[in-house]
Structure 1
């Protein structure tokens, strides 16, 4: 009775849907053969009889045709053009025949019709549910298995996919079906299930061995930077690549390069090395191109593994894998970074075929390669050798010197103290028609300033401004630092004024910018020197400057200097503001001096300054950091009852996180309710904190309610949210609700999904 009830319900649903469909498309590998004229006549007769209402179907009239056309039941079903009628046909036959093969063909026809529906995914899932509801009595054909596995894979229904695959007999399984299952499993993070399927495919005498599409699926997943599910173990990666290659399935250049790049980024150069060499060994030069080798060379270069870089280059030459200019660029670049300039020059000489009159490797060095080598030479003080390469570049049409070439050389000679040669190169650059950039300007100005030629730097700066090349913050910083270094604060201030007027720092005053920069960098001694020089020059510190200095000294944990600043403010009549007090309260809370922090807050209130949300937040956060959640809650309650400043999302999030970590999830949940009452909107951080708490307390229903609320708040889950919920829901069998949540559908029991839910 229960099964019949479900069937009736499914029929009712489908009678509300359109009954006509477009022409049926089929996967080529599963296409049904065309009907002969006599068979077509039989199919037409059966279809005409089935156009009558269900209660007028006459089995005695149909039976002769059905036995005659039993192998054409698929065509008959498709010609019905109606999934509800197809289901009725299945039930009609199921009650009157033991021919399960007939039911299989009709069910296949229903699936074909479903693929043509505008909402085909939903229709296919409905047919899957229908088959389950009758106990799986309908055996699946290869085509039916393929369509259902593809549908279940898209819906990320891992368990259903695996169960369905196991139901298929060996004759119905194929490489194409396995590939669809693999796609679905990988999409939903079911790595273990996917590996089990691959083991079956990779067996020696498998009836459904891996093909190139299998390789497409597997190699794409191995190369993805971010993916669902657990990561692959190194031995799993090696095993998959090796076995697939042994079956003649090789990754294309893009996927092999992607795999190696991913492994190298995760500092798994050893695995990347093995992967490349497995493909090399089993596929030879045909399966490996320079791009994949380049990816491994770049990874080895980052680890300064020059030995294996050279070995790989030798293997490429031995196997006939033609390197590109990028290949040599990577090798030269990392040799230069490792200060192995002579080896870089040897590689470069080989590239040029030096001494033999031709290019032995058939690769012409480009301007990037020249620039890399010139920069490397200059960094080790071999500027003259860099100059010889510059002259060589001038003789080549495809690698003419550019702005970067001259910038590298100018920088090298400036750092070597040969300012005259740097100026000469600049003049040569202009003569050659190469336009200088702001980097050129900054390099020259910085070089001149560092070698005590500040006035020359100013002259050069003015000259460049006359030619329309404006300086940026780096230029002004170099000049200001230089004038500060020679105690010429007036000039420093003049250039800060110029800096502001030029638009580099339009929202700051001169001395504040300088003090702020030094304080932010933690250079408090330098900041103090600048403060002293500014005072000597007749400038006074304002409230903003004091606040910046106090903040800087707090970060350096120099409390005595903080008190000096506060005393100085009192003497000079500069009153602390909310920023001053918040800085002090935050620092005192972090070092655990809550008594002094409390006194500062009282002083603040006495001065007529109402503690801001930042003030309360700093104290609450400090207590939470010290795991004193009870005191944090007292401050919170004081804030709510006595303060004119309501708590904000940040404060609620801090407390909810601390309460959950303290196993007081019930209180955290009550704070969430309090937020709703007071109209404070939670953010993703808030929800992540409470989700962790309810997960640890196994409060599943509360999680559903919170998920619904998160949807109502239009608050988007992030990767942390999904990581928390995916592992939990997968473990408790509620992964379907998580899918609905991701798609923005309610999931709590009060809004449970109906069979017509659109969340799929």
Structure 2
């Protein structure tokens, strides 16, 4: 093993005495207490009677005896201190029993004096676990007082308890054990400054700390250089290290990313008589796995055999976990098999690790296969297994399976963890099953778990997305009553719901309520309102809120300016929108891709191509344009009829590593269709396929319309029926386009057939659909065919409107079909229409 001096040379850590790590702060002076404690204020005969009664009857019988109830009910902590002190002299068991009975059965809060008396008694009898729990409880209960003292006087509770222990118990037997255990209790409670204070006292009193206490402190300091000071003091003290001492240090080096030092420390322990231990290797492997260096961890796994250290189940679990996190499930399963070959049975932890690995990749079938294998081997799933499965199904959106698992867990007496409830609530809300999610919230409370801010926020967001904003507001009030206070995210969900589902005035009222109460001055809430005003075209309302937030000293964000730019562009105030670019820079912000693209789209709509390219050049100096930016530019070029330039820009996108999306291609394809260049339009369609970009229904609507209007109707039919035979998604627009084209060509038979197919597909047929067909048939004087659609319309209980009736009357009149005119007139008169 490396000597302390060697450590300093290799790791360059200074060797300081541990006491130098204590912050120099004014100590809290506790009143000096005599030993033993002074007799209580209770009359001497009453105290004697209590002590005699406890000694004679024992504590349990004593407190149930009616003669002593009155005496006990009037006791205070100083009097109990005196009784315990007297009992200590008479009967140690009675003293401990009376202390526990008052604490556990009567809820009495003992003083630090009584606790230390009992601590010494437990230490003297070697009851280490009981002593540890007692002092840990004392330290934990002093936590609040410790915070107050630390704030006011500059110290925690350690100076107070140390002075009490020094002044009142210094010459008691087992005092050194109690001092050591007090340091351990502070360290175990993560009160490191207090632990260091007690360590300094141990050194002053020449009391040797035990290795568990040193290890606990070392563990708490493993994220800092100070751990070396603790380790060097352990070496200097001569205390026999445990196998965990080195592993804690190795873990600390790994956590601090000091990989070479961790390896060196592990391997150079070979010089010791014991050599590297299994725990050290496991710690090193765990550190590498946490950093994603699983291959390095595997090399140390193999090295263990060189040192005669066969890996244990924990070693395998570390590697299997690292492989699962890295996504190497096959290799993880191979290590599981290797584990069995070496006589180590995979335990529930192993199977849970594998289950988690599968669900992290969304492979729930694989996770269930692990569960089946687990049960076949006689290993029962535990609460972790169920929670993993439940979380996995929630993440892939399988709510039904998640609910089944929840029911099975409850039937087996297992409790869902908070994370499981949160994911289940989120899944139900995403599936628009908010009422079930609310029931789950109340179930959570019924089993003793407390809903948190995240759970309430998920539910509020779900209610708002369903348009039930008022219920969301009520739930927000309910959480406030439970002292779970909404944050900006919660309020933003409600504000978004009001903006999208209700009127802007309601949203503004809610917003003003928040700002008037000074509940929160959050830029996110302002951005929501400004964006809504901008999208509604109310640029005045957006600017007024912008002025309000600047007056309040709230810093606007780029999102704020993006919304204002959109609003000015929508209102065709492009000069003001352009000026906002400079305003963004004055606020120390950098315009985003959205900023430039929004502004460029405004100039595109105005047909100002020079301004468009000027902005592009300026943008490229600040931020990389996105594929949306290029789509806007392409749209501008197409509007100017510069189709070849738009195609060249498509090629430029690929050369710059930007992949055009469906919208980009659809924009260019539509322009070529309007230019009657159907060949180029289909060439672009084929290019989409070449780049693994799937054309959307919008793409095919554009192509079918282009063929119907500018090309050959027979080609449109071939494309349409080819797509339908290949089960490509076709919308009502595609059917309607083709039907109108056939009506215009006078092909009533095909139009009728397509119309019936459109109905069979389940599309909603409106009066506008009937009107479009009837108008075109009447223009072609196909009145008999128009009658077919009229009867179809009436049989489907679609009411005639004045326009259709007028078209039909005129068409029937032109062909001399007076009988049909007479049939329609009564319907027109009945519906209050003017026959003309």
TM-score band w.r.t. shorter chain:
0.3 to 0.5
TM-score with structure 2 setting the length: 0.37
